[in-house]
């Protein structure tokens, strides 16, 4: 009797999905067209570089845990003729490998498959734009999955619904005029909240108040490359029910996001535990994300 061989069963891989980054930075931007505008699910906002040469400009995404990238999507707005939009680019990954991508210039979402690569960062460098004018990038998506993290369908849905929470009041332990606490939540990464010279950064706090309880799930911090200021590495979040959560940042120059245990609250107080370098505290921009 001939025995059939035992079939080999391939491991089931997760279904590729839109990936959320933990940090973002770019070669440059033109205020208020910040890098994070390319990954905010808003097709009317964009990253813009101003009147600069488009070729060689780059945007970088960082992940706390390695992801496997399989596809990239870029949205092109056909109603805009005065700016250049990406036609060719190079993707660089954390292992140093590179892949070139070409877009057909569709006036809608266009997706390009790439050779799957495991990485904790992706740099997109612009090689060619059309028309040959100043670059703007409306929206992009990195598609793939993580072998280390499996999100449930409900968690994935909740994550997709996150939005920036707008406060109804803001205060701080101290502020050095004119570097008021409100500067930390004004969507302007060139303004700062600072406690002034000769002030100990540890223990300083900033608090946001909301008229009604909101659910907070993620914290974003923008770190400038100006290392003459102390910028937050560790902090404690205190909520209106008295609960606390400690958050840590890796110190990316640009936007970095940290997920927290979702909590319903009508206030958020961020207290500084550690800054780097150990100098006077300056907070360029904060974001709290969640749902109503």
- Of all residues in the chain, the percent with pLDDT exceeding 90 is 45
Lowest mean pLDDT among 21-25, 106-110, 160-164, 182-186: 160-164
pLDDT value, residue 235: 93
pTM exceeding the 0.85 threshold for the entire prediction? no
pLDDT in tens, 73-93: 999 887 666 688 899 999 999
269 pLDDT more than 60 = yes
Average pLDDT value for residue range 210-226: 88
For residue 153, pLDDT beyond 60 = no
Residue 57: partners with Cβ closer than 8 Å, 6 or more residues away: 26, 27, 28, 49, 125, 126, 135
Assigned CATH topology for domain 163-291: Jelly Rolls (2.60.120)
Kindly report which listed range (89-93, 239-243, 282-286) carries the lowest average pLDDT score: 282-286
Is residue 150 pLDDT above 80, yes or no? no
| Average pLDDT of the residues in 209-216 | 94
Topology agreement, domain 17-150 and domain 163-291: yes
**E-state strands within the chain:** 17-18, 23-26, 47-48, 58-75, 85-93, 98-102, 109-130, 136-137, 139-145, 163-164, 169-172, 193-194, 205-223, 231-239, 244-248, 254-276, 282-283, 285-291
Mean pLDDT of the chain: 84
Q: Which residues contact 288 (CB under 8 A, 6 or more apart)?
A: 164, 165, 208, 216, 218, 219, 220, 268
Residue 264: per-residue pLDDT: 96
Residue-range domain boundaries for the chain:
17-150, 163-291
How confident is the model over 86-114, as a mean pLDDT? 92
Yes or no: is domain 17-150 CATH 2.60.120.260? yes
Residue 127 has pLDDT above 90, yes or no: yes
Amino acid 88: pLDDT: 94
Distances from the Cα of 250 to the Cα of 116, 164, 268, 276, angstroms = 26, 21, 21, 10
Cβ of 273: how many Cβ atoms within 10 Å? 15
Model pLDDT, residue 71: 94
- Give the residue-averaged pLDDT of 234-238: 94
Q: Out of 192-196, 260-264, 282-286, which region has the weakest mean confidence (pLDDT)?
A: 192-196
| CB neighbour list of residue 204: distance below 8 Å, 6 or more residues apart | 172, 173, 174, 195, 271, 272, 281
- More confident of the two residues 162 and 220: 220
């Amino acid at each position: 009797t001939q025995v059939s061989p035992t079939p080999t069963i391939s491991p089931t891989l997760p279904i590729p999905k839109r990936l959320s980054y933990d940090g973002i930075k770019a070669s440059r931007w033109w205020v208020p067209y910040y890098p994070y505008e390319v990954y905010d699910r808003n097709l009317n906002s964009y990253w813009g570089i101003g009147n600069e040469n488009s070729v060689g400009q780059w945007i970088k995404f960082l992940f706390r845990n390695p992801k496997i990238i399989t596809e990239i999507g870029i949205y092109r707005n056909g109603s805009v003729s005065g700016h250049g939009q990406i036609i060719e680019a190079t993707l660089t990954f954390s292992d140093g490998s590179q892949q070139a991508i070409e877009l057909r210039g569709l006036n809608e979402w266009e997706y390009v498959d790439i050779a799957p690569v495991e990485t904790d960062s992706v740099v997109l460098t612009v090689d060619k734009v059309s028309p040959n004018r100043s670059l703007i990038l409306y929206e992009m998506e990195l598609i793939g999955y993580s072998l280390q993290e499996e999100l449930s369908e409900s968690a994935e849905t909740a994550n997709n619904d996150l939005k920036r929470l707008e406060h109804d009041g803001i205060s701080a332990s101290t502020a050095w005029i004119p570097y008021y606490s409100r500067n930390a939540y004004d969507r302007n990464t060139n303004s700062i909240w600072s406690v002034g010279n000769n002030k100990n950064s540890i223990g300083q706090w900033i608090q946001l108040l909301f008229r009604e309880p909101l659910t907070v799930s993620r914290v974003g911090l923008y770190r400038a490359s100006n290392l003459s200021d102390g910028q937050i590495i560790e902090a404690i979040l205190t909520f209106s029910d008295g609960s606390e959560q400690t958050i840590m940042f890796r110190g990316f120059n640009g936007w970095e996001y940290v997920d927290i245990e979702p909590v319903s609250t009508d206030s958020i107080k961020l207290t500084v535990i550690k800054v780097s370098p150990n100098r006077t505290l300056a907070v360029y921009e904060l974001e709290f994300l969640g749902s109503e």
